[in-house]
Amino acid sequence: MKLLKKISLIVTVLNCSCFLFAQNTDNAFEIEQITETLMHYIEGTANGEPDRLRQAFHPDFNLYTVTEADSLRIRSGEKYISNFQPGKKSNRVGRIISIDFEKDAAIAKAEIVVPNWRIITDYFLLLKYEGSWKIVHKSYTWKPFPVTATKTKSD
């Protein structure tokens, strides 16, 4: 009887661990797909690839920020994409800071550094539909790029 209980316990543990592994595999796959969408945005803006931006964004997305005059600025996503000329690289370096998702909804944060100008923090809302993740909303803020003091030679 003890042997039967041990075997039952082992089978239960194995079943649970397989279920957990499946969840982790699914989570890793979704994170990979969200990351791919965000990289279309990051690399598309850096390398002048409007088609990659269109892959990342839902066609009806808008961008939101607060102006220096403390008012809300809303821009059309298509207008934003039209600012990037094919093949024209820009001096921007982006990185993904965080991703959180549940089922078919995700939020993500990225930082874009434009040397000698700004550091932009992007917040994204993504939804998965028709089999792929799309950015449906982008809110952002920025701060000036830090100026480093240069030493002068004294006489």
Position with higher pLDDT, 8 vs 107: 107
Amino acid (one-letter) located at 115:
P
| Least confidently predicted of 10-19, 33-42, 56-65 | 10-19
Whether the predicted pLDDT of 122 surpasses 80: yes
Q: Report pLDDT for 16.
A: 43
Amino acid (one-letter) located at 70:
D
Q: Say if pTM beats, i.e. exceeds, 0.85.
A: no
Structure tokens at 95: 């990185």
Spatial separation of the C-alpha atoms in residues 96 and 102, rounded to whole Å: 18
Spatial separation of the C-alpha atoms in residues 29 and 35, rounded to whole Å: 10
pLDDT digit string (tens) for 53-90? Answer: 999 999 999 999 999 999 999 999 999 999 999 999 99
- Cα within 13 Å of Cα(74), Cβ side: 4
Whether the predicted pLDDT of 112 surpasses 80: yes
pLDDT digit string (tens) for 84-108? Answer: 999 999 999 999 999 999 999 999 9
Number of Cβ atoms within 10 Å of the Cβ of 134 = 19
Number of Cβ atoms within 10 Å of the Cβ of 108 = 23
| Least confidently predicted of 30-34, 126-130, 149-153 | 149-153
Max distance between CA atoms of the chain, in angstroms, equals 93
Q: Report pLDDT for 18.
A: 41
